[in-house]
Structure 1
Amino acid sequence: MTPANRVRIVRGARWLALVFRRILGAQLAGWAVYAMHKFALVAERAAQMCATLAAFAFLVSGVVYLYLGRWTVTHQDYWWIYDFYLNHSLIESALLTYAHHSLFFPSFLSQVDLRFFHGNQLPLFLVGLALLLITVGLLLVPVWRDKTVGLTAKILATLVVIVGNFWMARAFITASGVYNCENSLVMAGAALGFLLLQIIGRRLAPVLPVAAIVVLAGFIASFSQSTGLAIWPTLLLLAWGLRLPKYFLGMMAAAGLTAVIIFVLLPGHDWLSPPDPLKGLPSVSYVTVIWLCRLLGAPIFVAIFSWWPDKFYRPMVESSELALCTAVGGVGLALATLAVLPQIIRRNVNKSSLEWTGLALIVFTLFVTSLIVTGRAGVFHARPFEVVASRFFFWSTLFWTGLLLVAIARAQSKQWLRWPVYLVALAVPILVFPAHYKNAVWWRNIRWNAESAAASLVNGVRDDQLIPDAAFLAAGSGREQLYRTARQFRARRLDMFADGLQDWIGLSEANLFGGRHEPEGLKGQCRVAALVQCDNGAPAARVFGQASKHGQSIPKTL
């Protein structure tokens, strides 16, 4: 073999080795890509299953907790409102503005309950729950119609919306039939407006008929509670971002101005409300921003610190709640500004339906909470902790829901951001569950106390200590109003007097049931907790205890 042939053989061997290495490298790379792709598919399937189970569990637990902790008797501001309803006509009652809130549409629900269901709070609770479910459905319709995001993003968005709406930290509103009807009517009207606005923006329906429905939804929101007036600047801002025709913007502006004029002209009945010496105190702009941050940050603070035992929770709240709420709310406000402002300036908010829903929630809740902090400036100035009260969680929770929806939508176009956002969304139900459960227990106890206070009214007892503890009255309210309304309830057999238990008082055992029930042997224990007086000055005792039949079952009739 000549040297030249030997060189050719060596070069050919090197060339074959190089080709072999390239083929092997390509195969290994293909296997690696396939393995990574398979792992990504498995991870997505796992995320979808976990999110689906978490959403179902949270929805069921939320509905059950709300039912067990619901108000079963008249409470708080409605002692004044029902007193007015019972002494005025239907139209006068509908036009009532209480504490600067127009309750026009919810008043018809309350009137129907008084006239046809004897003031039973259960029908109002069911209507409020139905409105809450309708709101969730309206928010999820654009999410599931979005073709720019995958199935995982849609399921996670569903989880976030369910958690945001059924978290028991919002139960100050959602556990009350009347309050839930008011606020959920506002939110349902707003959600319907957001849905229809995007339909107009995508030219999927004629503008004028759909615009008329949007205006109707705006009026329903505006006259269910005064916070609903925030829908008009929200619709205008979103319509501008959608590049809708100028005549549509003019229609929304005219409708909003009309709603404001009607609201101002409605007859006010501030004398129904307990006098507030703090009303009208001046506010400073930067202080208002601080209050807004505190209000927005309160749900995050409660969710995190509810992981601590109760004995540590209250000291932490008293020492650091306002500062931490301000910091967290400030971060949320900054993120909201970065999420919304560029889209509005570029007028480019119609790409993703999922992102649209999040942006609409952010804008609307910011306008609502701004109305709250400006309208209650005097109260917040004198009582700083009032700004983080749980009654405002109904709105501030939806603010964070909107931020998460925007994050899920924008993570679709950024591979590095997708899984961090997915993991945050999956962690949300775990993070908020301690507060979810603790609030469920709290409101269950509130229900028991309220029913005990109602029993004292049925027995004609003035138990001034029990009634405030049961949260029967709004802060600063007078008890005489409660007793005056209770006398009307007794005369008309409404609410706690509808079953006629007050007729038992003074009857002997033999005459109580007319011989239709046999005596039953009960076992139990009780104690006298306090001595009180009846309406007529006769002595009475507050008795707590329990009774059972056969050691287990509780008798239906005591």
Structure 2
Amino acid sequence: MTPENRVRIVRGGCRLALVLLRILVAQLAGGAFYAMHRFALVAERAVQICATLAAFDFLVSGVVYLYLGRWTVTHQDYWWIYDFYLNHSLTESALLTYAHHSLFFPSFLSQADLRFFHGNQLPLFLAGLSLLLITVGLLLVPVWRDKTVGLTAKILSTLVVIVGNFWMARAFITASGGYNCENSLVMAGTALGFLLLPITGCRLAPVLPVTAIVVLAGLIASFSQSTGLAIWPTLLLLAWGLRLPKYSITLLAAAGLAVAIIFVLLPGHDWLSPPDPLKGLPSVSFVTVIWLCRLLGAPFFVAFVSWWPDKSYPALIESSELALCAAAGAVGLVLAMLAVLPQIIRRNLNKSSLEWTGLALIVFTFLVTSLIVAGRAGVFNARPSEVVASRFFFWSTLFWMGLLLVAIQRAQSKQWLRWPVYLVALALPVLVFPAHYKKGVWWRNSRWNAESAATSLVNGVHDDQLIPDNGFLAAGSGREQLYRTAQQFRARRLDMFADGLQDWIGLSEANLFGGRHKPEGLK
């Protein structure tokens, strides 16, 4: 064999080995890719199952905690509201504004409770809970209609919506039948407007009837509580971003202007005689921005400190509450601007219904919290800690819920972002559960205290120690109004007097049940 042939044979062998090596590498790579793909499918299925179970568990626990911790007697501002209801006509009660809030639509529910259920708080609680569930359903409709995201994103979005609505940190509102009817009517009307507004831009849709329903939803939100007025600038901004026809935007603007005029002309009744809400307002300055950040960031602080024992609360609150709330709120505001402003400027809001829902929630809750800061500036000046009060959690939690919904949708197009966002959403119920549980226990104890205070009223005892300012009675106000309204309840057999137990006080055993009751002979 010549040297040339040997060289050719060696070269051929090298080429054959290289081909075989390439085939082997391809097979290994294909197997690895298949294994990775299979692992991703298994992991995604596990996330779906865990998210479904977590959503169901949080929903059930939230409803149970709310039922056990609900207000069973008249409380807070309703001592004043019911006093007015009992001494005025249905029309007067519905049209009057109470402490700068128009309660037109919720007043019919409260009046029905007084007239047909003797002031029993259970029908009001069930009505508020139903409105809360309706709100959740309206928010989830566009989530499950979205064709740009997969099943995992939809299930995680459902989990986020359920946690955001049934977290017990919001129980200052949701555990009260009256307060929940007011605020959930606002959110139900707003969610209905968000659901139907994109339809007005469709060529095949009946534009005028749909727009009329959106306007009706805005009316319900506006006249259920003053925070609902934020729906009109929200709808106008979103309509601009959706590129809706000019006549639709004009109709929304006209309706919003008419609502504002009607709201200003409504008669008012300020039972607490508060100072001018705009007194001391430093316009739009650094202070107001700090207040807004604290209000938005307060849920983060509550979720954070709830992981510590209760004995550590005072030191943590005193040292870091306002600073941590402001920092968390500032981060949220920056993320909100990055999420909303580019879409509004490009007028590109109709790509994904999931993203649309999140953006709409962000804009609306930002405007609501801005209204709260503007309307209570005098109070926040006098008591800075008031800005992180739990009564505002109803709105601030929805702000973060909107941000997380936007993150879930946008993670679909970014592989590196998808799993971090999925894990954050999946961990959400675990992170907030300590606060969820502790607030559930706290509201259960508050119910017992309120019922004890109501029993003292039935007994005719005026003991201020049994009627604390922080629960049974609105904070910072006197008790004369409470005792005056309780006398009317006694005369009309309403609320805690509906069972007639007060008639037994002072009677001898022989006179019970008209003398027909035989002694039990207990030893």
Measured after TM superposition, the shift of residue 5 of structure 1 is: 2.9
Write out per-residue CA displacement over residues 495-521 of structure 1, whole angstroms, 9 at most, x where no aligned residue. 000011111111222332454576386
* Equivalent residue in structure 2 for 1:283, among 281, 284, 305: 281
**C-alpha contact 2:172 2:390 (8 A) present in aligned 1:** yes
Contact 1:446–1:470 (Cα < 8 Å) also in 2: no
Answer yes or no: is the 8 Å Cα contact 2:490–2:497 preserved in 1. yes
1:299 alignment partner in structure 2: 299
CA distance in 2, matches of 1:382, 1:68: 35
Per the alignment, residue 48 of structure 2 pairs with 48
For normalisation by structure 2, the TM-score amounts to: 0.97
Alignment partner, residue 434 of structure 2? 434
Give the superposition deviation at 1:99: 0.2
Contact 1:189 1:218 in 2 (8 A): yes
Q: Distance in 2 between matches of 1:192 and 1:211?
A: 11
* 3-state DSSP of counterpart to 2:468: helix
Q: Does 1:371 align with 2:375?
A: no
In the other structure, the counterpart of 1:528 is none
Which residue pairs with 2:343 in the alignment? 343
Cα distance in 1 for residues equivalent to 2:387 and 2:206:
43
Distance 1:517 1:56, change over 3 A: farther
- Counterparts of 1:111 and 1:510, CA distance in 2: 39
Find out whether 1:404 has 2:404 as its counterpart: yes
How many Å separate the matches in 1 of 2:346 and 2:101? 36
**Paired residues for 1:44-443 under 5 Å:** 44-203=44-203, 205-270=205-270, 273-277=271-275, 279-284=277-282, 285=284, 286-443=286-443
Give the TM-score, by structure 1 length.
Answer: 0.91
Shift of 1:469: 5.4
Go from structure 1 to structure 2 and tell me whether the alpha carbon gap of 1:509 and 1:330 turns closer, same or farther (over 3 Å shift): same
- What's 2:454 paired with? 454
How far, CA to CA, are the matches of 2:466 and 2:336 in structure 1? 44
Instruction: Check 1:508–1:470 CA distance in 2 against 1; reply closer, same or farther (3 A cut).
Output: farther
Distance 2:460 2:273 in 1: 28
Contact 2:510 2:517 survives alignment (8 Å):
no
State the alpha-carbon separation in 2 of the partners of residues 158 and 124 from structure 1: 26
Q: Deviations over 1:196-246 (max 9, x none)?
A: 012223445221110000000000000000000000000000000000001
Instruction: Check whether the contact 2:469–2:475 (CA below 8 A) recurs between aligned residues.
Output: no
What is the alpha-carbon distance in structure 2 between the residues aligned to residue 22 and residue 501 of structure 1? 91
Cα–Cα, structure 1 residues 31 and 462, in superposed 2: closer, same or farther, change >3 Å?
A: same
**For residues 390 and 403 of structure 2, what CA distance do their matches in structure 1 show?**
20
**Cα distance in 1 for residues equivalent to 2:352 and 2:59:** 26
Give 5+ residue unaligned stretches, structure 2. none
**Cα RMSD after superposing both structures:** 1.3
SS at match of 2:320: helix
Cα separation, partners in 2 of 1:517 and 1:163, compared to 1, 3 Å:
farther
Q: Secondary structure in 2 aligned to 1:465?
A: helix
Answer whether contact 2:243 2:347 (CA < 8 A) is retained. Answer: yes
Measure how far apart 1:268 and its partner are: 1.1
The residue type paired with residue 275 of structure 1 is: S
What are the Cα deviations for residues 149-171 of structure 1, in whole angstroms up to 9, with x where unaligned? 01000000000000000000000
Say which SS state the counterpart of residue 461 (structure 1) adopts.
coil
Distance 1:403 1:509 in 2: 64
1:23-52 CA distances to partner (integer Å, 9 max, x unpaired)?
111100100100100010011001111100
The C-alpha deviation readout for 1:312-357, integer Å capped at 9, x for no partner, is 1121111111111111101100100000000000000111111100
Note the C-alpha offset of 1:113. Answer: 0.5
CA distance in 1, matches of 2:481, 2:174: 25
Distance in structure 1 (CA, Å) of the matches to 2:473 and 2:204: 49
Counterpart of 1:519 in structure 2: which amino acid?
Answer: E
State the AA in 2 paired with 1:389.
Answer: A
Q: Report deviation, 1:68.
A: 0.1
Measured in 2, the distance between the counterparts of 1:200 and 1:149 equals: 23
Match of 2:497 in 1: 497
Show the counterpart of 1:544.
none
**Percent of aligned pairs with the same amino acid:** 84
Are the counterparts in 2 of residues 113 and 124 from structure 1 also a CA contact under 8 Å? yes
8 Å Cα contact 1:201/1:350 also seen in 2: no
Inter-CA distance 87–219: structure 2 relative to 1 (3 Å threshold): same
- Give, as a single letter, the amino acid of the residue that structure 2 aligns with 1:416: W
Output the CA distance in 2 between the equivalents of 1:517 and 1:321: 61
SS in 1 for 2:197: helix
Q: Secondary structure at the match of 1:478?
A: coil
CA distance 1:517–1:266, change in 2 (3 Å): farther
Q: Secondary structure at the match of 2:442?
A: helix
Q: Give the SS at the match of 1:473.
A: coil
Corresponding position of 1:26: 26
Q: Is there any run of 5+ residues in structure 1 with no aligned partner, and where?
A: 523-558
Aligned length: 520
CA shift for structure 1 position 465: 1.4
CA distance in structure 2 between the aligned counterparts of 1:315 and 1:278, rounded to whole angstroms? 34
- Distance (Å, rounded) in 1 between the aligned partners of 2:470 and 2:326: 31
| Counterpart residue identity of residue 365, structure 1 | T
Bigger drift between 315-324 and 379-388 goes to: 315-324
- 2:464 is paired with a residue whose SS is coil
Q: CA deviation at 1:436?
A: 0.4
Measure the CA separation in 2 of the matches of 1:203 and 1:449: 58
Q: Structure 1 7/153 Cα, relative in aligned 2: closer, same or farther at 3 Å? A: same
- Distance of 1:113 and 1:257 partners within structure 2: 33
**Per the alignment, do residues 108 and 276 of structure 1 end up closer, same or farther by CA in structure 2, a change over 3 Å counting?**
same
User: Equivalents in 2 of 1:292, 1:521: separation in Å?
Assistant: 63
CA–CA distance in 1 between the matches of 2:389 and 2:521?
47
Highest RCO, 1 vs 2 (Cα 8 Å, sep ≥ 6): 2
Q: Deviations over 1:44-102 (max 9, x none)?
A: 00111110010000000000000000000000111011010001111000001000000
Give, in angstroms, the shift of residue 6 of structure 1.
2.4
The residue identity in structure 2 corresponding to 1:70 is R
- Any conservation in 2 of the 1:278–1:379 contact (CA below 8 Å)? no
1:143–1:279 Cα change, 3 Å: closer
